[in-house]
Amino acid sequence: MISEQHSAVSDTLSAGEENLGQWILHHSQNSDVWDPIPFPGWHIHLPVFEPFQLFGITIDLSITNHVVMLWIAGLFVIVLFMLTYNAKKKIPSGFGHILELLVLFVRDDIAIANMGEKEGKKFTPLLVTFFFFILMANLMGLIPAFSTATSNINVTAGLALITFGSTQVYGIARNGFIGYYKNLVPHGVPILLWPLMFVIELMGLLAKHVALTIRLFANMTAGHIVLFALLGLIIVFKTSLMSIVSVPFGIFVYFLEILVAFIQAYIFTILSALFIGMSVNPEH
């Protein structure tokens, strides 16, 4: 098994004439090929579209590896809910009960706790979708032949922009355009400091969502890099004895990754709830 991996990896290395760092990056980066079977030469080439210009931005709608992973994650979430939750049953049983427990947790302890009763119930579906979608995308990187879409900064940026959009749209809808941006500045600030404070708060608003993006992206990327680096030690030291250290550590990091996948999905959801709650109810 180890020698198989070894040969597979050295094949990849010799074929691509890459060094170890590039090899690790290759595995966590987006690409237009998907190799469901971890052998060299077994690739599925995904469709590549010609980038086009829109409002001066180059948009490349090629269906890449991570797009496929997102689709699979989304599909898996939908199928999971459809198969295990039966709305006709008054009290759910089995896995449907676990799902309901999680949905209830998101509703009561994330949405209502951070937004209040009325807004919390309104935003529960969005937050539940955030949680399960991100969780699935995170966990998929731990399954061979799949990769983590959330280790692509564009995906996490897209998700964080949904949160950002929600905060702006609902904050303005609730407090009015002027009222919302006026509430960005904390109460009790002297009038002379208002322009300065407004700029600082605006930057803080953006920084919060950039942090949301980077946090998920960095956590998901780091775990995979550590995992690959540990296994890469076998190549670096050019001896299979290294696997005595690398494989147990790799397994440990793998389980840590499962934990991190849950924690990051939870953190993303709770921070989204917090940000939306803060913009909708600025007094709190």
Partner 1 sequence: MLDLNPGMILWTWITFFAVFIVLYLVALKPMLTAITNREQGIKNDLESAQKQREEAEAILEEHRRLMAKADEDGQKIIRENQLLAEKTKQDILESARNESDKMIHQAKEEIEREKQSALNSLRAEVADLAINAAEQIIMQNLDQEKQKKVVDEYLKSMPKSLNN
- Cα separation, 238 vs 156, in Å, equals 36
Q: Tell me the two tokens of residue 251.
A: 């397994």
Q: How far is the CB of 237 from partner 1 (least distance, A)?
A: 26
> Could you tell me the smallest distance in angstroms from the CB atom of residue 2 to partner 1?
29
CB atoms within 10 A of CB 202: 13
Per rule CB under 8 A, count of chain residues that contact partner 1: 49
Integer Rg of the chain from CA: 23
DSSP for 226-246 reads HHHHHHHHHHHHT-GGGHHHH
* Closest CB to partner 1 among residues 246, 275: 275
- Three-state secondary structure readout of 202-213: HHHHHHHHHHHH
Site string for partner 1, 132-171 (x = CB under 8 A): xx------------------xxxx-xxx-xx---------
Among 103, 112, 227, 270, binds partner 1 (CB under 8 A): 103
Report how far residue 258's alpha carbon sits from residue 80's, in angstroms, rounded to the nearest whole number. 19
DSSP state of 109: I
In terms of CB distance, is 107 or 209 closer to partner 1?
Answer: 107
87 belongs to the binding site for partner 1 (CB under 8 A)? yes
Residue 29 near partner 1 by CB under 8 A: yes
Contacting residue, 110, 128, 139, 276, with partner 1 by CB under 8 A: 128
Residue 81 within binding range of partner 1, rule CB under 8 A = yes
Is residue 82 involved in binding partner 1 (CB under 8 A)?
yes
Residue-wise DSSP of 156-168:
HHHHHHHHHHHHH
Range 12-35 burial, b when 16+ CB lie within 10 A, else e: bbeeeeeeeeebbeebbebeeebb
- Segment interacting with partner 1 (CB under 8 A) among 4-12, 98-106, 166-174, 242-250: 98-106
Residues that bind partner 1 (CB under 8 A): 25, 28-30, 51, 57-64, 66-67, 70-71, 74, 77-78, 81-82, 85, 87, 90-91, 99-100, 103-104, 107, 121, 124-126, 128-129, 132-133, 152-155, 157-159, 161-162, 221
